[in-house]
């Protein structure tokens, strides 16, 4: 069962977006497996890249600060790599609606740069793309399987879908072995929490830690599933080591769905701090909200043997412990709440 982990010993592995949340968690696991890891990250301030994310392994990885939108750089970096975990992306749905051109450049055009670099300089590489459940848009039925129609509800979803389809095309036509993992709501240590534009779960975690109010939109009964970051990283490892994944898309979902209301109550109970109230939906967020969503992950379980193992309560406990120890590396001092005695 652990053959896929042994696969990475002495393998050359590149992680785009490797100083970000999932990428750095993946880097930690790869280092422990004996891989030779190259991290590529643009360190754009508003995105998730953070050098502290590789604390403890910084002397066992190589870091190249580069932007995946630079074709000549990608041509050079992909050479001699055995596996590329392609996690570089713009993940904010709100930002994609406010600045669709940047989202297009990073999530669509840059993906073509990476794949062309592979086709021309390293056609034998394996590429695993970080896709998203956002490509499905408003679900027609639950749980959502990979057969569900792709009909994104925002610019980010459209561009991520295009990036995903480029990977599948290059697998099917050019022989660049590639697959895509459609991630649901991933959470855990090393996630960006300095602002609230990259998913609500990380922001809720910060508010709970700071004993602040969490605002739940609507009645809080919308359902979501959540994946602890170590479980998500394990899905990448399995996909990168198996040719059975080639040309496939896989949902990577949580153990079971939970309502926003119950999620927040569990978070506050675990943290021992924080409070919440219900508020009306902001119009700009309501317009792109997809309602209840949870994924059917049976395909990746059948094909690669993956399934989530970390319960939400345990994942919250690990995450809260991490940020209590390292909050100053993730929240600038000027942004921290002022407390008085």
Q: Kindly report the pTM of this predicted structure.
A: 0.95
Return the percentage of the chain with pLDDT > 70, whole number.
97
**CATH class in words for 3-188+227-254+295-309:** alpha beta
pLDDT in tens, 221-232: 999 999 999 999
Domain ranges of the chain: 3-188+227-254+295-309
pLDDT in tens, 38-67: 999 999 877 889 999 999 999 999 999 999
pLDDT at 341 over 60: no
Structure tokens at 73: 């750089």
- Mean pLDDT over 175-199 rounds to 92
CB 309 within 8 A of CB 318: no
- What is the average pLDDT value for the chain, to the nearest integer? 93
More confident site: 340 or 292: 292
Q: Is 277 helix (H, G, I), strand (E, B) or coil?
A: strand
Render 140-206 in DSSP notation, one character per residue: SSSSBPTTS----SSHHHHHHHHHHHHHHHHHHHH--EEEEEEE-EEE-TT---SSSSS-HHHHHHH
pLDDT in tens, 274-287: 999 999 998 888 88
């Amino acid at each position: 069962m652990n053959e896929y982990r042994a696969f990475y010993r002495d393998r050359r592995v590149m992680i785009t977006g490797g100083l970000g949340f999932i990428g750095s968690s993946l880097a930690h696991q790869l280092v422990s497996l004996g891989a030779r890891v190259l991290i590529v990250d643009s360190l754009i301030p508003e995105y998730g890249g953070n050098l502290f994310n590789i604390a403890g392994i910084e002397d066992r990885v190589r870091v190249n600060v580069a932007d995946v939108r630079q074709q000549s750089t990608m041509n050079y970096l992909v050479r001699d790599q055995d596996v590329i975990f392609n996690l570089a992306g713009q993940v904010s749905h709100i930002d994609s609606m406010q600045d669709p051109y940047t989202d297009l450049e990073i999530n669509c055009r840059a993906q073509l740069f990476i794949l062309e670099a592979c086709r021309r300089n390293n056609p034998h590489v394996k590429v695993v793309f970080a896709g998203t459940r956002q490509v499905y848009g408003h679900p027609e039925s639950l749980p959502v399987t990979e057969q569900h129609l792709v009909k994104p509800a925002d610019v980010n979803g459209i561009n991520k879908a295009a990036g995903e389809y480029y990977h599948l095309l290059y697998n099917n036509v050019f022989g660049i072995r590639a697959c895509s993992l459609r991630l649901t709501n991933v959470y855990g240590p090393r996630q960006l929490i300095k602002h609230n534009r990259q998913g609500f779960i990380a922001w809720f975690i910060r508010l709970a830690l700071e004993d602040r109010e969490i605002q739940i939109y609507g009645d809080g009964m919308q359902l979501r599933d959540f994946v602890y970051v170590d479980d998500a990283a394990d899905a990448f490892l399995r996909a990168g080591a198996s040719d059975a994944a080639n040309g496939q898309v896989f949902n990577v979902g949580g153990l079971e769905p939970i309502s926003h209301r119950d999620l927040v109550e569990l978070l506050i109970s675990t943290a021992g701090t924080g409070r919440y109230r219900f508020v009306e939906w902001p119009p700009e967020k309501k317009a792109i909200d997809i309602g209840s969503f949870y994924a059917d992950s049976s395909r990746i379980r059948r094909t690669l043997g993956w399934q989530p193992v970390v319960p939400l309560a345990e994942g919250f406990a690990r995450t809260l412990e991490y940020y209590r120890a390292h909050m100053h590396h993730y929240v600038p001092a000027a942004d921290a709440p002022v407390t008085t005695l």
